[in-house]
Amino acid sequence: MEGPLVEINLPPMDADWNGAIAFLDRDGVLNIGSPEYINSKEELVILEGTSDAIQSLREAGYRIVITTNQSAVMRGKWGPEVLTEVHSALQEELGVIDVILSCPHRYRDRCRCRKPHPGMLNEASEIIRDVSHTSLDWWGEKPKPIHPLDLMVGDRYSDMGAGWAVGARLFKVNENLGLASVIDRILEGDEGDLFNPVG
């Protein structure tokens, strides 16, 4: 299996879009995560305040993108249909998400979509903005974002690495608090959290 699994629900482009993208991790940002994965829609528990936070991002003009590492697919725990089921349940709670990308690979598969690589973020940007990206020097100077309000919200170092590689503002959250804990900072134009790509 090459590349991420992609679901696109884009509305027609209109004046409501400010040009920026909110890249969001899933587990620990939108819903309670589990070291054993979210294996069914019944296991999906949305974090408190997430629905309101997503609505606030939409009202502020963002396109919403989920980028999630889901190696359970390549580990053979379940197939892509489980992701479809879980993401349908997620959208019943939060509203339609513009683009959802799921990397099915394990770390050892050495794909370019698994975070901290920026592959999923770049692909979502290409889908939404219809532009191609040049290759990025992972250890070089932080790239300039396509839009200065682009942001990445995640609970792990890998999320921050992927966001850094596309020049997004970075917001690292506690996995028990998620997106709602940083939404005010985002909407106030906070520059985001510092991140050192070399650790």
Q: What is the CATH number of the domain that holds 124?
A: 3.40.50.1000
* Residue 33 placed within a domain: yes
Angle at 179 between CA 100 and CA 67, to 5 degrees: 20
**195 falls within a domain:** no
Within a domain: residue 139?
Answer: yes
27 assigned to active site:
yes
Examine residue 198 and state whether it is found in any structural domain, yes or no: no
What pLDDT sits at residue 130?
81
How do the pLDDT tens digits run along the chain, 199 residues long? 678 899 999 877 666 899 999 999 999 999 999 999 999 999 999 999 999 999 999 999 999 999 999 988 888 898 899 999 999 999 999 999 999 999 998 888 888 899 999 999 999 999 999 865 544 444 456 677 789 999 999 999 999 999 999 999 999 999 999 999 999 999 999 999 999 887 6
The 3-state secondary structure of 27-63, one letter per residue: ECCCECCCCCCCCCHHHCCECCCHHHHHHHHHHCCCE
pTM above 0.85, yes or no: yes
With b for 16 or more beta-carbon neighbours within 10 A and e for fewer, the 1-25 pattern comes to eeebbebeeeeeeeeebeebbbbbb
145: in domain: yes
137 has catalytic annotation: no
> Considering the domain boundaries, does residue 193 fall inside one?
no
31 falls within a domain: yes
Catalytic residue selected from 14, 27, 150, 193: 27
Per the structure, the complete domain to which residue 48 belongs is given by 5-187
Is 124 in a helix, a strand, or coil? helix
Of the residues 14, 16, 25, 137, only one is catalytic, namely 25
70 inside domain: yes
pLDDT of amino acid 137: 46
Q: What is the count of structural domains for the chain?
A: 1
